[in-house]
Every structure is written in C-alpha cells, then in structure tokens.
Amino acid sequence: MSTTIGDRQGAARAPRRRGHLFSRALAGVIAAGVVLGVGELISVLIDPNSSPFLAVGSTTVDRSPAWVREFAIDTYSTNDKTALFVGMAILIAVIAAVAGIVEQPRAPFGSAIFAVLGVVGVYAAIHRPGATWSFAIPTVVGVIAGIVVLRLLTATAQVPAEADAEDSWMPRRSFLLFAAAAAAAAAAAGATGRYLGRQIAGAVDNRRDFTVPAVADKAAPIAPGTDIGVPGGTPFITSNEDFYRIDTALRVPRLTTDEWQLRIHGMVDSELTLRWEDLIARTPVERVITLTCVSNQVGGDLAGNATWIGYPIADLLAEAGVQPDADMLLSRSSDGFTAGTPVQILQDGRDAILAVAMNGRPLPFEHGYPVRQVVPGLYGYVSATKWVVDWELTRFDKAEAYWTKRGWSADGPIKTASRIDVPAASASIEPGRVLVAGTAWAQHRGIGRVEVRVDNGPWQTATLAAQYSIDTWRQWTWDWDATSGMHTLQVRATDLDGNVQVQDRTSPVPSGATGWDTRSLRVS
C-alpha cells in the first residue's frame, strides 16, 4: 500500500502519480522564474550587482577566455550582452525543466538542483567587485522561494493513479491556476526589480557626474582651537559617512537633477517652478551648520555638523513674493514627507539654505540628493526636508506637517544641550587628572558656558573651545582630579542669551528632550 505526504491524520487518500512530464517541466521553469524574479527584486535593497542573473552573467563575461569574448563580440557585435543573457536564460530554463521533471514528493532531486544553481549564484554574487556577504541574500532568498514554489507546483501537478494516460495529459485546473499565478508573481517581481534597479543606476550616474557649484561666498575657515581633537571626542565636522540619518523613507528616493524640480506655490504673488538649471544659475553660499534631531535623547548622538553649499531660501521666497499673511513654508519631499517652517525664521537673516553639497561632495542619497533644506536653529523635522520638491506658502492655522499630525510640536526651536563624550562610559580610569570632554549646542543662540559637577557637588566651569559660529556646536573640556570609587559626572550648558539647559528630564515628545547628561564612572 502506498502512502503520500499528508497522510499523517490517517485519512485514506487515493494513491497519486506524478503529473505529466510537461506539467513538471513547466513547474521547474516557473520556479526558476521565481528565483530570478525574487532575486532581482531583493537585489534592489542590497546592490544592483547582487542580482543573481546579473552576477552570473557578469562573472561569465569576466571569466570567459579572451577568444570566447572576441568571438561573441564579432558574432553578435554590440548585442553580445543580449546574446549572453538569452543564452543564459535558455540554459537555466533547460536545467530548471529537468529539475521539475525529476522533483518527487519523496526525493526532492529537483530542489537539490535548484540548491546547486543557488550555490553558483551565491559564488558569482559574492565575487563581484566590491561585494560583501550581503550580496548572497538575493540569491538565497530567491532560491528558497523557488524551491517552495517548485515543491508546491509539482505537488499540485500530481494526478490520481487511476486516471488513464490520455486524461493525465491535461494538467489539472488547480495546477494551471497556481502555475499562472506563480509565473505572474515572478514576472512582476522581476520587472519591478529591473525598473527600480535601472532607476537607481541612473541616479548613481547622475550623482557621479554632479559638479559641486563653485562658491565665492565661502564659509569662514575653521580657526585653530575650534576642533581641539581630544582622543575619542566628537570631531567638529562630522563626515558624511558618520552623519546621523533620520527619515521616514523605507526606500531612499533616487532623484536625478534632471527629474528634480521645485514648485513654489500657495500664498505667493507669482507661482514659480525651478528646474535644476534655474537653481544653479543662482548664487550659492557655503556655511557650516549643525543639524539636530528632535528625537535625540539626552546624551544621544542624533546631531551632526557639516559644511553645506546651497542657495539662500529667503532669496527664492522673495522671488516668488510671499504674501503678508502667510506664516508657514510647508515643504514636501518627493516621497511625501512634509515640514512646516515659520516664514519669519526663514526671512530673519539666518543662513537657511537649499543645500546641494555636504562637506564638499554632492549630497549622499541618504541625506537628500539632489536638494535638501538646512535651517540653523530648528530641529530637522520642522525644517530640514530632504529630496525637497514642493514649497507651499500657507498658514500654521491651515496646514499641518508630517510630525505635527502625529503629536509633535508645530514649532521646533533646538533646545540648549550638552553631552559628555570623553571618558567613554566603559573606560577604565585611574585616580588623578582625567580629561573630561564633550560637545554643547544651542543653534542660532550660541553656547556661552558649560559647567560640570561631580557627585552633585558645586558646578565648575569647563573650558570652551573657540566658537565657530552661533549656528554650530561647540567643544568643551574640563580637568577632573579623580579619586577612587564610583562617581557621577553631570554637564549643563548655558546659551549666549543666558538660558541654562533645563534640568527636568523629559522625553523627546513633543518638542525635544530636556535634562542633564549624566555619566557614572568607576575610578580605580
């Protein structure tokens, strides 16, 4: 007596036979399509070169002997890549058909063939130039999905044992439906992956060819004594790689300068649409400005300082002519995020800019390429729109921006803050003189004083590094004569308006955390 999978509950099931040769071959080909489609789609998240199909194709080109390449180029001229891909597709289809034919409920030979193809794909992917282990992910996920589909399809292809040979030629209706659905899903995944992949590649090329605008109105040089370089401390300028990133984008927008435009509308005298050429025809400025996120916890690292090149926002607003009763600039990104910024702040003379470069480089995609806002003194959520494409002049009593709708405060001035960076919380410290160092910020007001206290003792004045500008953070140091035992260090800053950093610990919601950074250290 024969049993089949699914017999565990003891229900008597009619014995089944494997489906017709054609159905099984079709199951294999569709499952291979699932591998490639899913792999293509997942590769968008990793790297275009991690696509299994592309990786195998590129590796074949790179590894084939010179004469094969010459032959291919001569024979197919500029279509040699297409010829390669068509050839690969046929080879994969044939192997996959065989895999489908030999796949059995009990002995998954076909799945094993898929696994072997997967190993080839992984090998090719992780040997691409610049590849990391993550390049294996698209192939691995694709092969797992493919094997699942292969197993399900070949199971659905089975026919009752007693069906006569003629009947069994016709695939079962459920098999056809399932096969069509799997094929459609594979095609959709593959097409989406290709589309997004091409879009990314186009944006990468566009960014590579980007020329950072030359500026006459340069940022003031960073004077000696601004960046005191305490080992383990926070550098005055944050590199693009180390700059914190906060946004709601699941997929980083990849706009090209050709696609980008900024529409200025709403309560303006004349609506404007700026294209890239229009923007760069204007006069850029270069400024050093510290950004901070409202979500930063006391002592947290959601702040960064960069040299930005961009175009003064106030000039563009003046061109459009802001009507007197408009008090909010509602800026919108290409992915639908919005920020509401007080017009009066944008027009009060501070260096609010539409930035196109960060530390001498085009903006990284993650930080808003090709255009983002930078407004000194306001948290990012109300001012620093990345991938900005739309400006609506409106009113705070009419419009609400993204985070304001979600319970955050409508206006977001940056609160005076200070942080201990050195010694690290885990540092082993010996009694004696210990250098304590950190950062403080109160953008657009400036840091006037930083004080440190030990074990709730009297406040002691720290030494401030040179101030670059009131729009940037400021380093500080303090000499501690440390004694053995556990100690608690606390820091607080006072801005140049005389406001002392607020002691009460509050959460970042709705308008930024308050409290003094506190660090417990063991000295022994």
Ligand X SMILES: Nc1nc2c(c(=O)[nH]1)N[C@H]1C(S)=C(S)[C@@H](COP(=O)(O)O)O[C@H]1N2
On whether the CB atoms of residues 40 and 193 are closer than 8 A, the answer is yes
Residue bearing tokens 């097409």: 191
Residue 244 interacting with ligand X (CB under 6 A): yes
Q: Which of 266, 279, 369, 261 is nearest to 315 (CA)?
A: 279
**DSSP codes joined into one string, 349-368:** SS--EEEEEETTEEPPGGGT
Residue 509 interacting with ligand X (CB under 6 A): no
Q: Which of 386, 415, 444, 519 binds ligand X (CB under 6 A)?
A: 386
Please give the C-alpha separations between residue 263 and each of 213, 270, 327, 403, in angstroms, as whole numbers. Answer: 22, 11, 18, 22
Q: Which of 210, 236, 381, 387 binds Mo ion (CB under 5 A)?
A: 381
Residue 415 interacting with ligand X (CB under 6 A): no
Instruction: Compute the least distance from the CB of residue 294 to ligand X, in Å.
Output: 7
Q: Which of 387, 441, 476, 478 binds ligand X (CB under 6 A)?
A: 387
Residue 248 interacting with ligand X (CB under 6 A): yes
Residue 139 interacting with ligand X (CB under 6 A): no
- Helix residue ranges, H only, 321-453: 343-346, 402-405
Which one, 76 or 244, has the nearer CB to ligand X?
Answer: 244
Instruction: Compute the least distance from the CB of residue 239 to Mo ion, in Å.
Output: 20
Instruction: Compute the least distance from the CB of residue 257 to ligand X, in Å.
Output: 17
On whether the CB atoms of residues 333 and 290 are closer than 8 A, the answer is no
Q: Which residues of 149-179 are buried (b: 16+ CB within 10 A; e: fewer)?
A: bbbebbbbbbbeeeeeeeebeebbeebeebb
Instruction: Compute the least distance from the CB of residue 54 to ligand X, in Å.
Output: 30
How many residues touch Mo ion under the rule CB under 5 A: the total is 4
Residue 243 interacting with ligand X (CB under 6 A): yes
Residue 293 interacting with Mo ion (CB under 5 A): yes
Residue 380 interacting with Mo ion (CB under 5 A): yes
3-state secondary structure 1-37: CCCCCCCCCCCCCCCEECCCHHHHHHHHHHHHHHHHH
Cα distance between residue 157 and residue 221, in whole Å: 73
Q: Which of 25, 150, 262, 293 binds ligand X (CB under 6 A)?
A: 293
Identify which range of 120-128, 192-200, 207-215, 243-251 contacts Mo ion by CB under 5 A: 243-251
Residue 126 interacting with ligand X (CB under 6 A): no
Instruction: Compute the least distance from the CB of residue 335 to Mo ion, in Å.
Output: 15
Residue bearing tokens 């691409």: 128
Q: Which of residues 326-345 bind ligand X (CB under 6 A)?
A: 333, 337
Q: Which of 145, 142, 141, 131 is nearest to 58 (CA)?
A: 131
Question: Which H or E run contains 477?
Answer: strand 474-482
Task: Decide which of Mo ion, ligand X, none touches 57; Cβ closer than 5 to 8 Å per partner kind.
Answer: none
Question: Which H or E run contains 389?
Answer: strand 388-394
Which one, 388 or 482, has the nearer CB to Mo ion?
Answer: 388
Which one, 215 or 249, has the nearer CB to ligand X?
Answer: 249
- 392 beta partners: 265, 330
On whether the CB atoms of residues 385 and 339 are closer than 8 A, the answer is yes
| DSSP tag of 89 | H
Task: Decide which of ligand X, Mo ion, none touches 524; Cβ closer than 5 to 8 Å per partner kind.
Answer: none
Residue 267 interacting with ligand X (CB under 6 A): no
Cα distance between residue 53 and residue 377, in whole Å: 49
Identify which range of 117-125, 293-301, 394-402, 486-494 contacts Mo ion by CB under 5 A: 293-301
Which one, 352 or 464, has the nearer CB to ligand X?
Answer: 352
Q: Which of 153, 157, 279, 291 binds ligand X (CB under 6 A)?
A: 291
How many residues touch ligand X under the rule CB under 6 A: the total is 19
Contacts for 241 with CB less than 8 Å, ≥ 6 apart: none
- Contact string (CB under 6 A) for ligand X, positions 194-233, x = contact: ----------------------------------------
Q: Which residues bind Mo ion (CB under 5 A)?
A: 246, 293, 380-381
Residues engaged in binding ligand X (CB under 6 A): 243-249, 291, 293, 304, 333, 337, 367, 380-381, 384-387
